[in-house]
Structure 1
Amino acid sequence: MAKKEHKGRSGVVYSTSEEFNYSYEGETEPETLPADKQKLKVLLDSKGRAGKTVTVVSGFVGQTADLEDLGKKLKNKLGVGGSVKDGEVLIQGDFRARLVPLLNEMGYKVK
């Protein structure tokens, strides 16, 4: 029989102590690498988006808050909409030609 994990708990612990606090074994986010150590990929995608094209920036290693800051900066500089999902920055439209020099200017290595 397979182990069932409920809410990230690996086992059941019973305690009658009122001071007991269950600790969760969650995944920790990696430290954000400096911009010159990051290797980002910029590509165009339209799958699963009702035929609309988006420019995807992937390969960011770091905390979610830092990725959201990068996404916000890119959207502001380009003047377009987008979002940050699943560790990727999604920019609405085809902006590969403008994104690569912009990311290089910020200090990122881009493919």
Structure 2
Amino acid sequence: MDLQDQLKNLFPDHISEEPVNETQETKDLWLQDDPIICKYEKRKGKPITILEGYTGATQDFKALAKDIKKTLSVGGSFKDDKIIIQGDYRDKIMQILKAKGFNVKRVGG
């Protein structure tokens, strides 16, 4: 008997909620014709990946940044209409964006 069965026995009237689907949040993103630019830099000797060139709403770009950071389990930030990801994850980020339907252009290196 697992935990779910024990909870059903304790609370028979409770209706369990469906888990929230994270990808539903990102399905509503505006897909643009121009490619998102994915470039690599070093700041203070540490590698970072920068995404820029999204022309949609700022909230959509923030949601995309959150999804990328969560998928890759890395840190990063959103500043000045740019997503800054800690580390060199250009290949993985490009695969994630292409899977979502974005055009991506790799710049540098």
State whether TM-score is above 0.5.
Answer: yes
In structure 2, runs of 5+ residues without a counterpart are: 1-28
Give the distance between the partners of 2:88 and 2:80, measured in 1 at CA: 20
Contact 1:42 1:110 in 2 (8 A): yes
Structure with higher strand content: 2
Contact 2:77 2:83 in 1 (8 A): yes
**TM-score (normalizing by structure 1):** 0.64
**1:24 is matched with which residue?**
none
The higher radius of gyration belongs to 1
Give the distance between the partners of 2:84 and 2:75, measured in 1 at CA: 9
**1:39 is matched with which residue?**
35
Q: Post-superposition shift, 1:37?
A: 2.5
Q: Post-superposition shift, 1:38?
A: 4.4
Q: Post-superposition shift, 1:36?
A: 4.9
**1:4 is matched with which residue?**
none
Query: Deviation digits for residues 16-37 of structure 1, max 9, x if unmatched?
Result: xxxxxxxxxxxxxxxxx83252
Letter in 2 for 1:63: A
Instruction: Report matched runs for 1:1-111 at 5 Å.
Output: 34-46=30-42, 49-111=43-105
Give the distance between the partners of 1:61 and 1:34, measured in 2 at CA: 9
Identity %: 36
Q: Which runs of 4+ in 1 moved over 6 A?
A: none
Give the distance between the partners of 1:70 and 1:99, measured in 2 at CA: 11
Give the distance between the partners of 1:69 and 1:53, measured in 2 at CA: 23
Give the distance between the partners of 1:38 and 1:105, measured in 2 at CA: 16
Count residues in correspondence. 77
**TM-score (normalizing by structure 2):** 0.65
In structure 1, runs of 5+ residues without a counterpart are: 1-32
Letter in 1 for 2:76: G
Give the distance between the partners of 2:30 and 2:62, measured in 1 at CA: 15
